[in-house]
Amino acid sequence: MANHFDVYERVFKPVGKDKILIDRLVATKRDFVLRKTKYYTSLIYDGIETIYPSKDKDHSFPPNQMWLFNSVKRDALKFIENTPDFYIPNKLPTNSTNIEYDATYGSITGTDIESAYWTIAYKLGIISESTYEKANAKDFKMTKLASLAILGRVRAYHKYENGEKVKDPIIIQPDHDKLKDIYRIIRYTCYMHMGKLSQLLGKDFEAYRTDCIYYRDSVKNRNKVYEYLQNEGFAFKQLIYDEEVEK
């Protein structure tokens, strides 16, 4: 059986349904490899990889956005090559709550960073300006997050020989052992910013949840948060109960 991972062409706009093609390959006793996730199905045979996005709207990527995964990985590998001794910030909690917050007066508001991980990846030089700009539209939100989150992950493919599934999967290791640290850098940098904001707000800090910080609402506190985020190059939106004000 030929090695399907040597050289193959990627097809991001498949014709038909994945199940129809898989059933046909099994019935005709073909050799192929298959990977299924909640986001997509990847099918490789005869030197062609066909990617079928999930039909689930909550776990699907538009076919015309699938290029982003390769682009982000290529940029990340270049970053590792150019910055082999990159710094990983100290790990802070994903979520943090001020247990001493006095809720007996005032009201709570929140400020949410727009595309926090994507912006951080660009500011740190992990992704190029070209990649950043091409995928910076709001409809790329899920694809951007996923393209960063899968960096350094081990992938498992199921191999079929003569139409029959081979018991043991093919395990594909990351292209570089440092790729797994790239997503950590991005996440930990985000939490670092949340930690700094919580210190700026002091006793008026209520909580942060990943990339959104909650605090006692006042003009002074909003200005503190806005000034910090603007200086760091972040776009953000203000949460006012069920309302959102973009900045």
Q: How does strand 212-216 pair with strand 108-113?
A: antiparallel
Contact 107, 217 (CB under 8 A): yes
Residue-number span of the structural domain to which 230 is assigned = 64-152+176-246
Helix (H, G, I), strand (E, B) or coil at 111: strand
- Judged against a pLDDT cut of 90, whether residue 119 lies above it is answered with yes
In a domain, 130, yes or no: yes
In a domain, 13, yes or no: no
Q: Write b or e for each residue in 87-102: b if 16 or more Cβ atoms lie within 10 A of its Cβ, otherwise e.
A: eebeebeeebebeebe
In a domain, 170, yes or no: no
Band the pLDDT of 48: cuts 50, 70, 90. confident
In a domain, 26, yes or no: no
Residue 166: which of 174, 156, 175, 151 has the closest Cα?
Answer: 156
In a domain, 34, yes or no: no
Contact 95, 207 (CB under 8 A): yes
Query: Within 13 Å and on the Cβ side, how many CA atoms surround 40?
Result: 22
Give the pLDDT confidence score for residue 173 in this predicted structure: 72
In a domain, 27, yes or no: no
Higher local confidence (pLDDT), 15 or 45? 45
Band the pLDDT of 8: cuts 50, 70, 90. very low
In a domain, 23, yes or no: no
Number of compact structural domains in the chain: 1
Band the pLDDT of 125: cuts 50, 70, 90. very high
User: What is the percent of the chain with per-residue pLDDT over 90, rounded to a whole number?
Assistant: 53
In a domain, 109, yes or no: yes
